[in-house]
Amino acid sequence: MLRFMSAGESHGECMVAIIEGLPAGLYIDENIINQDLFRRQQGYGRGGRMQIERDTVKILTGLKAKKTLGSPITLMIKNKDFKINELPAITQPRPGHADLSGAIKYGFSDMRCVLERASARETVVRVAAGAIAKIFLSEFGIKISSKVISVGGQTNSKKIKEKIDFARNKKDTLGGIFEVAVMNVPAGLGSYVHYDRRLDARLALALMSIPAIKAVEFGMGFEAANKLGSQVHDQISYSLKKGFFRLTNNAGGLEGGMSNAQTIIARCGMKPIATLGNPLKTIDFKTKKPVKASVQRSDISAVEAAGVIGESMSALVIADAFMERFGSDDLRRIKKAFKLK
């Protein structure tokens, strides 16, 4: 079982992840992880923090001569903006954030105690962990990519930039839709036999766990609900060269809770960034008087970056399901099992 935990606060010393369940013998090039960390920082509409941070990973455990030992791998990314103990307290909870419910739940009156961990800064180590899962999957020809489908309802890249500029000028924010594609996945990852083994359910959980993601669909998704079965289901064909294949891919590579060897296509809907330069109304946590929500340095829109995080979370799920099917101890033996598939 491939699993990982993360730790760290947005303005704490560092962010950390421990990944457990990778096989021995996998060569890890830190540059590949750093490339994905860089991609997570890109995209039109990002805020000031992206200029401060140039994230790079340090691998603390689990490798010998850059190869995995099968033991837990610890990844660490330093926060260049380490000042958690100097930052002022915040008592004006932001609508759309974890601030208010988090303060009630954990007994804080200072929202900073909530937002330091609720911040999407945490996703930096998900991307590092996901990059390792991608390195593993690339040994088997599996590739993962993402793209922005729309921002604030605009699909054209020039119009997207204009819309982001408009939102910035209005001191407002935007969400959007991104798509993740997983290519060359063999058939039969996941299973139909039990709810928590279904690959679509596992992917949905992983993608929904990304901050601000409010909708996930696979293939034709919601649109399929309005069509006839004959317009939706992918007809099966066969050729000597390709083996079994589908004439279309409306299912987005997933049927019966399993991969069906077509490209897995997931689309995620991201709500607008919850910190507004022109803040919304709220209630001061201490005085109970109406105030404006707190304003933190913030992105206007981060859909492209969320797509990179979507790739990472998908990679972790697919790598886990792949190892369930083909083994998880020793990379050479997994390759042998994969050849026999």
Ligand X SMILES: Cc1cc2nc3c(=O)[nH]c(=O)nc-3n(C[C@H](O)[C@H](O)[C@H](O)COP(=O)(O)O)c2cc1C
For the segment 152-181, give every residue that binds ligand X (CB under 6 A): none
28 binds ligand X (CB under 6 A): no
Q: Do 49 and 78 contact (CB within 8 A), yes or no?
A: no
CA-CA-CA-CA dihedral for 258, 261, 262, 265, to nearest 10 = 40
18 contributes a contact to ligand X by CB under 6 A: no
- Min CB(39)–ligand X separation in Å: 11
The residues that bridge with 113 in the sheet, in sequence order, are none
Which region, left, alpha or beta, applies to residue 252 given φ > 0 means left and ψ of -120 to 50 means alpha? left
Which of positions 80-109 make contact with ligand X (CB under 6 A)? 96-98
Q: What is the smallest separation between the CB atom of 318 and ligand X, expressed in angstroms?
A: 20
**Does the protein bind ligand X through residue 299 (CB under 6 A)?**
yes
Interface segment toward ligand X; rule CB under 6 A; list 100-108, 228-236, 243-251, 303-311:
303-311
123 or 260: CB nearest ligand X:
123
The size of the interface with ligand X (CB under 6 A), counted in residues, is 19
Q: Is 120 in the site for ligand X (CB under 6 A)?
A: yes
**Interaction mask 258-297, ligand X, x per CB under 6 A:** ---------------xxx----------------------
Parallel, antiparallel or unpaired: strands 176-183 and 264-270: antiparallel
Element (H, E) at 236: strand 236-239
Dihedral over alpha carbons 287, 292, 298, 300 (to 10 degrees)? 150
- Count of Cβ atoms closer than 10 Å to residue 233 Cβ: 16
With respect to ligand X, which residue has the nearer C-beta, 68 or 123?
123
Residue 118 binding ligand X, by CB under 6 A: yes
Task: Fill in the amino acid letter for 278.
Answer: N
41-80 positions binding ligand X, by CB under 6 A: 47
- Say if strands 243-246 and 290-292 run parallel, antiparallel, or are unpaired: unpaired
Q: Tell which one of 211, 253, 257, 310 touches ligand X (CB under 6 A).
A: 211
| Beta-bridge mates of residue 154 | 151
**Angle formed by the axes of helices 199-208 and 303-326, nearest 10°:** 150
Residues that bind ligand X (CB under 6 A): 47, 96-98, 118, 120, 123, 210-212, 273-275, 298-299, 302, 305-306, 309
